[in-house]
Amino acid sequence: MELLTTNNVWMMICTALVFFMHTGFAFLEIGLTRQKNTINILFKNIFIITVGLLLYYIGGFNLMYPGDFNGFIGFAGFGLDTVAGANLAYNAGYTYWTDFLFQGMFAATAATIVSGAVAERMKIGPFMIFTILYVGFVYPIAGSWKWGGGFLDQLGFYDFAGSTLVHSVGGWAALVAVWLLGPRIGKFKDGKPQAIPGHNIPLATAGVLILWLGWFGFNGGSVLSADPELTSLTLVTTCLAAAAGGVVAALVSFIKYKNLDLTMFLNGILGGLVGITAGADVMTPGSAIIIGGIAGAIIVFAVALVDAIKLDDPVGAIAVHLICGIWGTLAVGIFSTNPEHTFLIQLTGVACYAAFCLITSFLIIFTLKKTVGIRVSEKEELEGLDTHEHGMDAYPDFRLNDN
């Protein structure tokens, strides 16, 4: 009982840290976008975490962890009330209730990734519908394939804390949404990308530091116990990858663009964190630095690639969460200390999630586009979503001409 209590307390601390990450996402997104859309972004972030938890209670948790099932889709029933959740023998590491809450915090993250990518031009109503469908059904079904003991788990696919299961699942949807939405007004001029600066870079910086702190729970909690050796190693590899990602991104950006770009530095840190997440518990510290460093370099070129193919991602979500998520998942097959982890199996897992997420997100967003519409009017976009969607101003005594 004493060991269970220790493990459970650690898991609850990690749950709180992952919850705090939503503050980091909110700060990062509003910091990298314009003042006139601040309320809209904050509303979406609050909606995602509140509705996400309720959806996870209603059916998401039991879709993701259905028990014995066919390996592709299963369902253990609605709600938690009829399950023997109070049974302390549920798991050697933590209780049933802790498991629900910890996993519930992860569930909302996938939609948060999409929120940043579609910032400043997507209608709030369709985004809310998308969130309900994606968090309520797509994410838990995808999660069951590995974490619920599904067919990819049986195949030997490995994703420790979600480079693919969380970050790429959100990243694929972000890619589809950005493509179907189109770029913001003024983003491309004569085919060339134009910078649209965020209104509060200090807030974005705070957001990244909060996310880094939250990753102590994101990866540390994924050990699923308070095992001192494995937890400590996981936190070390996580931090080293983040540091390497930031430094390499800043260096490569300086070489490529001849300036010390803070936003590239910040996204490099996030890229390193996303990259190490798939294998943080099976990497040596040296491998973690290599993985994070490569993720940092990837960020610089991925951001340029997104611009080159005329996609508009205001916060770099596709580069950070999708492309670095893919890299981190494949890196398990290259650097893992477990010889059973192979590159081919990791690649198979990436392909399965790509197909599922691309198809489902396209069906949801394309249907919304053809029925209710997903993009605000030109007038609403130019004047800001805060005024038109919410009738509020984030800074009523401090207005900037940011059109």
Superfamily for 2-390?
Answer: Ammonium transporter AmtB like domains (1.10.3430.10)
Q: Could you tell me the residue ranges of all domains in the chain?
A: 2-390
State pTM to two decimals.
0.94
Per residue in 184-223, pLDDT tens?
Answer: 999 999 889 999 999 999 999 999 999 999 999 999 999 9
Supply the mean pLDDT for the chain: 93
Q: In the structure, what pLDDT confidence band is assigned to residue 111 with cuts at 50, 70 and 90?
A: confident
Per residue in 356-402, pLDDT tens?
Answer: 999 999 999 999 999 999 999 999 999 999 999 999 999 987 655 55
Per residue in 58-77, pLDDT tens?
Answer: 999 999 999 889 999 999 88
* Helix ranges restricted to H, 182-284: 201-220, 228-257, 262-276
Q: Is the pLDDT of residue 169 over 80?
A: yes
Q: How far apart are the C-alpha atoms of 386 and 392, rounded to whole Å?
A: 6
Q: How far apart are the C-alpha atoms of 298 and 148, rounded to whole Å?
A: 31
Q: How far apart are the C-alpha atoms of 291 and 330, rounded to whole Å?
A: 10
- Which helix (H) or strand (E) covers residue 251, if one does? helix 228-257
Across 10-29, average pLDDT: 96
Write out the DSSP string of 78-107: SSSTTS-TT-GGG-SSS-HHHHHHHHHHHH
